[in-house]
Amino acid sequence: MEVLMHEATNTLQISTSSSSTASNITPVSKIEHLPKKEQMSQLEKKSIQSETLDIRFVDLSYKVSLGLRKGSKEILHSINGRFPSRQLIAIMGPSGAGKSTLLDILSGYRLTGMQGSVYVNGHVRDLDAFRRSSAYITQDDRLQPLLTVQENMHVAADLKLGTNITSKEKNSIIDEILTTLGLQEHLNTRSDRLSGGQQKRLSIALELVNNPTVMFLDEPTTGLDSSTCMQVVNLLKILARQGRTIVCTIHQPSASLFQLFDQVLILSRGVCLYQGATGQLIPYLESVKLPCPMYHNPADYMIELACGEYGDDKIDILVNAMQNGNNVQWFNNSAVMNNEIENDKYSNGTKTSRKQKKSLQATSPLHQLKVLLHRGYIKCKRDATLTHLRLIVNIVTGIMLGSLFIKAGDDSSRVLENYNLLFAILMHHMMTSMMLTILTFPAELNILKKEHFNRWYSLKMFYLSITIVDIPVTFICCLIFSIIIYLMSGQPLEITRFSMFFTISLLVVFVAQGLGLMIGAVFNVVNGTFAGPTLSVPMMMFAGFGVTLSDLPAYLKWGSYISYLRYGLEGYIGAIYGLDRKNFICREVYCHYKDPLVFLKQIAMSPNEFWSDVGALIIILVVTRLCAYFLLRWKLMAAR
C-alpha cells in the first residue's frame, strides 16, 4: 500500500490503444524514458490531443414507484450539471440526497423512471456508444473470490480486449496497470484474501484494462482508513490527469481529502446546492451570506446545510443561487474553456469519433464462452462448497442411506422399505441440488450485474458457461452416489437397470438445479431458502408421497403432470421393477409382495413408462432452464 503513490507517479499512461474499445489516450510505448517531471509533462501534452468526454445533464428528474396504489416518489428534481473531462469530480450529499441515483443515471445503469437529457461533448448521449467508452465501479467490490489478482486481470483482458491483441501485449497492459495501482506484489493472492484497499484497487484495475474515457465510482472510499482513502483518491486524480473524466460519489470527506477533488456537485433532497471547483466553495458560501465558520471543514459545513441543520430556508437560498445546477460561474474557468473548445470541434465536425462496433462486447460470443469456461474450471477446482462439499455430501449420504436400507432391494418382505428408499433418493437429489444453487447463485448474480453492465460478456454466454461447467461435477457426484446406494441396497445387478436408475437420477438433479436457478434469479438468499422448500412440498404430494396417484382428487390430478418428482419416482419404478422382473426372494411363510405386479398395482404405477418419464423430465428440464434464463434477464433489466 505504501508504494502506491510512488509507483503511480512514476508509471506512465496505461497502454491499451490497440483495443477496439479503448480511447485514444496516449500509450506508454510511445513515450520515451524521460526524467519523472518531464515524463508527466509530456504525458499531459499528449493527453490534451486525445479524445475526451465532457458530460452535461439538463432538467434531470427521477421517480421511483412506491408500490401498488402508493404512487411514486421523486428522487431528483430537474437538476442540471456539468462534468468536464480531465477532472476528478465528487458528488456529495447526506444519505438520501440522490447521489447514487444520479451516478446510476449518468452511467446508464438506471434508465426506467428518468426524465431529462444527458449530453456528451455537446451531443445527445448515444447510450451504447457511451457505454463502450465508460466503466462503472460499484461500492461493494464484486470480485471473483476464488481467482488470484493475475487470473482476474487475465480474464478481464481476454474479454475486454479484442482477439487481435496478442498475449504479449495483454501481459504488458496488465503489468503496467498492476504496477500503477501497487498490486504487482499480490499477483498470486486470491481476491478474497486481499485487504479492503487492495480489493478496491483491483476493482479499478479490472476496468482500466480497456482504457475507459469515463469512470464512475460509487463510494470508492467506503470501508477504508484515512490513509488508504488518500491513496485511492490520489490515484484517481492521476488517472483523471491522463485524460479521463472520473466521477465519484462520496459521503463526508475530510478537509484534506476534499481538497484533492477538482470539482464537486453537492445535493440535498434531489436538488443541487453547489456545483463548481472545490476551491470556489468558500467564496460561493460568502456570496450567499452563509460563510463557512473559521477552522471548519467546508465539506462538513455543506453537509450540515444540506441536512437542514441551519434551517430549510438555507437550502432554498443555495438552490436559488446555484439555479439548481445551471450556474457555472464557480467552475474552474480553464477547465470549462478547454472543454468548450473540444465541444466546438465536435459540433463543427472537425473532430469525429471513431466508428463504434455494433456489439457492446469487444469479443465474439464463442471467445466469451471459451474464457468463461476456463474461469469456471478454475473456480470448480477451488470451490469448497459447490465441488468439494457436494462430493463429500453425496458420498456420506449414500453410505448412510445404504446402511439404513442394506439389501432391501431383493427382499419381498422389505418392498415398502425399498419404495421409501427410492423416495428418499429423490429427496436427496432435489434438496441438495436445489438448495445449494439457491444459496450460492445470488452471490454470482451480483458479480454478473457489474461485469455484464461493463460489457465483459453477453448474458447468453454467461448462462451457457455456468450450465456447461457444472455438468462434469454433477455427473461425477450423481454417479458416485448412485453406485454406492445401488450396491448397498441390493438392487438388481443388471447394467441396463442401473443405467436407467442413473439416467433418472441425473435428470432429476438437473431439473432441481434449474428450479434453484429460477428461485436464485428472483429471490435473495433468505427468501430463496423459504421459497425452495415451500415449492417442493406440492411436488412431493403430487409425486405420490403419502397418497397414491389414484387417490388424488380429480381437481388435483393436473398436479401430477407437472411434478418432476412424479416422473422421477415412476422412472425409478420402471428401472427397479420393470422389464418383466421376476418374483422377489421370499424368506417368510407368506410374502404379499412376492410378485412385483402386486406392489405396482397397489401404488398405481406402471413399470412400462420409463421412456415417457425420461421424455417428460427432459421437457421439464428445458422449460426450467429457459425460464431461469428469462428470469435472470428480467432481473438484470428490472435493476435498471
Mean pLDDT along residues 137-142: 86
pLDDT of residue 164: 87
pLDDT tens digits, one per residue of 591-640? 676 777 877 887 777 778 889 999 999 999 999 999 999 999 998 888 77
pLDDT higher at 396 or 252: 396
pLDDT tens digits, one per residue of 410-456? 777 778 888 889 989 999 999 999 998 998 888 888 899 999 998 89
- Report d(CA 461, CA 364) in Å as an integer: 10
Q: How many CB atoms lie within 10 A of CB 514?
A: 25
- Report d(CA 74, CA 66) in Å as an integer: 10
pLDDT of residue 536: 87
pLDDT of residue 235: 87
Written as one letter, the residue type at 13 is: Q
CB of 98 closer than 8 Å to CB of 267: yes
- Report d(CA 565, CA 419) in Å as an integer: 14
Residue 480, helix vs strand vs coil: helix
Q: How many CB atoms lie within 10 A of CB 396?
A: 12
- Report d(CA 459, CA 453) in Å as an integer: 10
Q: Helices (H) and strands (E) in the chain — how many of each?
A: 23, 10
pLDDT tens digits, one per residue of 41-61? 333 333 333 478 899 999 999
pLDDT tens digits, one per residue of 177-214? 898 888 889 999 999 899 888 898 899 999 989 889 99
Q: Which of 185-189, 363-367, 517-521, 584-588 has the lowest mean pLDDT?
A: 584-588
Backbone angles phi, psi at 58, to 5 degrees: -130, 130
What is the pLDDT confidence band of residue 407, given thresholds at 50, 70 and 90? confident
- 71 conformational bin, left if phi > 0, alpha if psi -120 to 50, beta if neither: left
- Is 352 buried (19+), middle (13-18) or exposed (0-12) by CB count in 10 A? exposed
DSSP 584: P
pLDDT at residue 318 greater than cutoff 60: yes
DSSP 279: G
Grid coordinates representing 364 are 465474439
**Residue ranges of E strands in 254-297:** 263-268, 271-277
Please report how many Cα atoms fall inside a 13 Å half-sphere around the Cα of residue 416, on the Cβ side.
Answer: 6
What is the pLDDT confidence band of residue 340, given thresholds at 50, 70 and 90? low
What is the pLDDT confidence band of residue 334, given thresholds at 50, 70 and 90? low
Residue written as grid cell 480511447: 23
Q: How many CB atoms lie within 10 A of CB 36?
A: 9
What is the pLDDT confidence band of residue 590, given thresholds at 50, 70 and 90? low
- Report d(CA 297, CA 356) in Å as an integer: 45
Residue 602, helix vs strand vs coil: helix
pLDDT of residue 6: 43
Residue written as grid cell 477504508: 224
- Report d(CA 87, CA 106) in Å as an integer: 16
- Report d(CA 522, CA 528) in Å as an integer: 8
- Is 270 buried (19+), middle (13-18) or exposed (0-12) by CB count in 10 A? buried
Grid coordinates representing 500 are 436407467
Backbone angles phi, psi at 227, to 5 degrees: -65, -45
Q: Which of 308-317, 329-338, 382-391, 527-536 has the lowest mean pLDDT?
A: 329-338
DSSP 26: P
- CA-atom Rg of the chain in angstroms: 31
Grid coordinates representing 43 are 504525458
Grid coordinates representing 101 are 441515483
Percentage helix, strand, coil, to 5, in the chain? 60, 10, 30
What the chain holds in terms of domains, given with CATH numbers, is: 4-348 (3.40.50.300), 365-638 (no CATH)
Highest mean pLDDT among 7-11, 382-386, 570-574, 618-622: 618-622
Q: Where are the alpha helices (DSSP H) in 523-609?
A: 525-543, 557-562, 564-577, 596-603
Mean pLDDT of the chain: 83
pLDDT of residue 216: 94
pLDDT at residue 345 greater than cutoff 50: no
